[in-house]
C-alpha cells in the first residue's frame, strides 16, 4: 500500500506546483483501499476539506493509474499519519523545496472552484439528429444565460452525453464571461456538502455560496434522495436563483415526474421551460462521432472499421468510445490495422440494445449460475469475496441493461443501502477499464442472458 501511494504521489507531483505539493501532500498517507473505498490520512481537519475540494480528481486518477479501483475517496485525520518520504526521483527534481516554508496561496473561499472539467467543450460535442435540439438550446444559453431556457432540463439514458453537454455550456460561458460564477455539482455531492456544512456549523456559508452563483449546474438529478432537509435546501436555492434570473441547468436519466423521491412542486418547476432529451445516435451520427474522435486524436482508421463499430454498438456513446479505444489499443499492441483486426475476426463487439429486455430475475439467475452460485447467495448479505464480486456484477448488469434505479437494484440483490449499489457499480465500471478478462466475463454473461 505504501508503494502504491508513493507512486501516486510521484504522479501528483508531476501535475501540480512544487509548493502546492509540499503544502498539501507532504503529510498524507494511504490508510485503506477496501473495495475501492479509499481512505487517505491527513494531519488535521483543515486538510480534509481542502484536499477534497482541490485535489479529489487528481488523487483519483493518480490511484487509478496505479491500478487501484476507486469508487470514492474520503480523508480522515489520522494521528499515525507519518511524514511520507518523498519518492527518490522526485527529491532530485525539486531539492530546494522545504515543506511548509513556502506555503501555497490558500484560497479564502473554499468554494471558488467551478467543478467543471475543461475537456468538455462544444467543439468536441458532435451534433446529430439525436441531440440537435438540445444543442441549439445550449447555444442559446451560452449567448444569453438565464433567459429563455431557464431552467434547462436535459434528460436521457446513460452515456448519451448529458454530462458532456452541460459541462460544455459552463465552459463556453466562461470563455466570454470569465467572471461568471458557475458551479457544477452532481446532486450526490450537493447532499454530502450540505450535510458536511450543517454538521460543521457552516450552513450559512453553504447558503451564501449557492446564492451568489450566476449559473448552477446539477448533474444526475435522478439520485435526489428524499431527505426532507436536503431536498428542501435544493428547492430553496432553486427558487432564489430562478427569481434572480440566474441560469439553472439540471440533468437526469428521466423526467422529474418519473422520479419517485422528488417533491411534486419541484418536479414541475424543473420543466417549466421545457425538457430536452438526448437520444440514441443513429448510424450516421455514430460514424460522425467516431470520425471526429479519430481526427481530434490524429488517428488513422479505415472508414470501414468506423462503420463496423458504429453498426455494432447500439447502446450509447460511452460504449461506442469504449469499443473504439479497445480496437485502437489492440491494433497498436498487435501491429495490425483496425480493419485487419475486424477481418481476422479478432474483434467481437456485442453491444446491442435489446429488443426483448431481460428481467431482473433473469439477470440475477444468470450471474449466479455463471459464478457457480445460487441466486440466494447473491441476495444473501454474505461478504465472502466471490459472492460479493458476483453481486457487484449483477448490480452492474441490472443498471446497464435495465437502467434500474440504485434503490430498485438494492431490492433485487437483497441490499438495504443504495449507496452500496452505487459503489458496486462504480467499482465494476472502473475495473472494466483495465481488466480485459472481466470484460469477457460480462460479455459472456450477457450472451447467457440474451442468447
Omega before residue 151 within 30° of 0, cis:
yes
Binding of residue 33 to Mg ion (CB under 5 A) = no
Residue 159: name its binding partner from ligand ADP, Mg ion, none (Cβ under 5 to 8 Å by kind).
ligand ADP
DSSP 57-80: HHHHHHHHHTT---SEEEEEE-TT
Residue 106: name its binding partner from Mg ion, ligand ADP, none (Cβ under 5 to 8 Å by kind).
none
220 vs 412 by CB, closer to ligand ADP = 220
Q: Strand pairing partners for 252?
A: 155
List the helix and strand counts (H, then E) for the chain. Answer: 20, 8
Segment near Mg ion (CB under 5 A); pick from 156-164, 296-304, 393-401, 411-419: 156-164
Are the C-beta atoms of 377 and 368 separated by less than 8 Å?
Answer: yes
Residue 285: count of CB within 10 angstroms of its CB: 21
By beta carbon distance, the residue nearest Mg ion is 163
Q: Is 100 left (phi over 0), alpha (psi -120 to 50) or beta?
A: left
Binding of residue 163 to Mg ion (CB under 5 A) = yes
Nearest approach in angstroms of CB 277 to ligand ADP is 11
Contacts of 29 (CB under 8 A, 6+ apart): 5, 40, 41, 78, 80, 81, 82, 84
Binding of residue 230 to Mg ion (CB under 5 A) = no
Q: Measure the CA dihedral 127/133/137/139, to 10°.
A: 20
Binding of residue 420 to Mg ion (CB under 5 A) = no
Residue 36: count of CB within 10 angstroms of its CB: 21
Nearest approach in angstroms of CB 137 to ligand ADP is 14
Nearest approach in angstroms of CB 114 to Mg ion is 17
Strands (E), 227-344: 247-252, 275-277
Nearest approach in angstroms of CB 309 to Mg ion is 22
Residue 321: name its binding partner from ligand ADP, Mg ion, none (Cβ under 5 to 8 Å by kind).
ligand ADP
86 vs 293 by CB, closer to ligand ADP = 293
Give the interface with ligand ADP as residue ranges (CB under 6 A): 124-126, 131, 156, 158-164, 289, 317-318, 321
Helix runs in 157-248, H state only: 162-176, 187-199, 203-211, 228-243
Binding of residue 22 to Mg ion (CB under 5 A) = no
What cell does 235 get?
428547492
Residue 352 DSSP label? -
134 vs 294 by CB, closer to Mg ion = 134
Residue 160: name its binding partner from ligand ADP, Mg ion, none (Cβ under 5 to 8 Å by kind).
ligand ADP
Among candidate residues 266, 335, 337, 262, the one with its CA nearest the CA of residue 299 = 337
Nearest approach in angstroms of CB 298 to Mg ion is 27
Residue 318: name its binding partner from Mg ion, ligand ADP, none (Cβ under 5 to 8 Å by kind).
ligand ADP
Q: Footprint of Mg ion on residues 296-335 (CB under 5 A)?
A: none
Segment near Mg ion (CB under 5 A); pick from 95-103, 113-121, 160-168, 354-362: 160-168
Residue 54: name its binding partner from Mg ion, ligand ADP, none (Cβ under 5 to 8 Å by kind).
none
Number of residues binding to Mg ion, judged by CB under 5 A: 2
278 vs 390 by CB, closer to ligand ADP = 278
C-alpha span between 5 and 86 (Å, rounded): 10
> What are the CA-CA distances from residue 309 to residues 283, 296, 298, 366 (Å)?
10, 18, 18, 27
Cα end-to-end span (Å), the chain: 42
Nearest approach in angstroms of CB 189 to Mg ion is 13
Segment near Mg ion (CB under 5 A); pick from 157-165, 177-185, 358-366, 386-394: 157-165
Segment near Mg ion (CB under 5 A); pick from 31-39, 159-167, 201-209, 372-380: 159-167
Nearest approach in angstroms of CB 38 to ligand ADP is 22
Classify residue 163 as exposed, middle or buried by CB count within 10 Å of its CB (0-12, 13-18, 19+). Answer: buried
293 vs 423 by CB, closer to ligand ADP = 293
C-alpha span between 292 and 284 (Å, rounded): 12
218 vs 393 by CB, closer to Mg ion = 218
Nearest approach in angstroms of CB 268 to Mg ion is 24
17 vs 124 by CB, closer to ligand ADP = 124
159 vs 338 by CB, closer to ligand ADP = 159
Nearest approach in angstroms of CB 443 to ligand ADP is 20
By beta carbon distance, the residue nearest ligand ADP is 161
Classify residue 18 as exposed, middle or buried by CB count within 10 Å of its CB (0-12, 13-18, 19+). Answer: middle
Residues that bind Mg ion (CB under 5 A): 162-163
Amino acid at each position: 500500500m505504501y508503494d502504491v501511494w508513493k507512486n501516486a504521489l510521484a504522479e501528483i507531483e508531476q501535475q501540480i506546483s512544487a509548493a502546492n505539493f509540499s503544502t498539501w501532500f507532504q503529510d498524507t498517507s494511504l490508510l485503506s483501499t477496501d473495495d475501492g473505498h479509499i481512505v487517505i490520512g491527513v494531519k488535521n481537519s483543515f486538510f480534509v476539506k481542502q484536499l477534497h475540494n482541490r485535489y479529489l480528481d487528481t488523487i483519483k486518477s493518480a490511484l487509478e493509474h496505479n491500478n487501484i479501483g476507486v469508487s470514492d475517496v474520503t480523508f480522515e485525520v489520522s494521528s499515525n499519519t507519518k511524514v511520507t518520504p518523498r519518492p527518490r526521483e522526485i527529491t532530485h527534481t525539486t531539492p530546494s523545496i522545504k515543506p511548509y516554508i513556502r506555503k501555497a496561496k490558500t484560497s479564502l473561499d473554499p468554494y471558488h472552484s467551478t467543478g467543471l472539467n475543461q475537456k468538455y467543450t462544444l467543439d468536441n460535442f458532435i451534433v446529430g439528429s439525436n441531440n440537435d435540439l438540445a444543442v441549439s438550446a445550449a447555444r442559446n444559453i451560452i449567448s444569453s444565460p438565464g433567459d429563455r431556457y431557464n431552467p434547462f432540463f436535459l434528460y436521457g439514458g446513460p452515456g448519451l452525453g448529458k454530462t458532456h453537454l452541460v459541462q460544455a455550456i459552463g465552459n463556453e460561458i466562461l470563455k466570454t464571461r470569465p467572471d461568471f460564477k458557475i458551479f457544477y455539482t452532481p446532486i450526490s455531492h450537493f447532499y454530502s456538502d450540505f450535510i458536511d456544512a450543517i454538521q460543521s456549523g457552516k450552513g450559512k456559508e453553504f447558503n451564501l455560496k449557492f446564492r451568489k452563483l450566476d449559473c448552477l449546474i446539477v448533474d444526475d438529478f435522478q439520485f435526489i434522495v428524499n431527505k426532507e432537509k436536503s431536498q428542501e435546501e435544493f428547492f430553496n436555492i432553486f427558487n432564489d436563483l430562478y427569481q434572480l434570473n440566474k441560469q439553472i441547468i439540471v440533468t437526469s436519466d428521466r423526467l422529474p415526474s418519473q422520479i419517485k423521491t422528488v417533491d411534486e412542486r419541484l418536479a414541475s418547476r424543473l420543466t417549466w421551460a421545457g425538457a430536452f432529451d438526448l437520444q440514441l445516435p443513429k448510424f450516421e451520427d455514430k460514424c460522425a462521432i467516431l470520425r471526429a474522435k479519430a481526427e481530434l486524436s490524429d488517428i488513422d482508421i479505415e472508414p470501414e472499421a468506423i462503420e463496423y463499430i458504429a453498426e455494432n454498438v447500439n447502446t450509447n456513446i460511452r460504449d461506442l468510445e469504449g469499443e473504439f479505444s479497445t480496437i485502437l489499443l489492440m491494433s497498436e499492441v498487435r501491429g495490425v490495422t483496425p480493419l485487419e483486426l475486424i477481418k481476422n475476426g479478432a474483434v467481437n463487439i456485442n453491444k446491442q440494445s435489446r429488443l426483448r429486455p431481460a428481467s431482473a430475475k433473469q439477470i440475477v439467475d444468470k450471474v449466479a449460475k455463471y459464478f457457480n452460485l445460487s441466486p440466494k447467495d447473491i441476495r444473501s448479505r454474505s461478504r465472502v469475496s466471490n459472492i460479493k464480486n458476483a453481486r457487484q456484477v449483477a448490480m452492474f448488469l441490472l443498471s446497464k441493461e435495465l437502467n434500474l434505479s440504485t434503490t430498485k437494484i438494492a431490492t433485487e440483490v437483497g441490499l438495504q443501502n443504495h449507496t452500496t449499489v452505487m459503489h458496486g457499480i462504480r467499482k465494476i465500471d472502473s475495473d472494466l477499464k483495465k481488466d480485459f478478462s472481466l470484460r469477457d466475463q460480462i460479455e459472456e454473461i450477457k450472451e447467457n442472458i440474451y442468447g
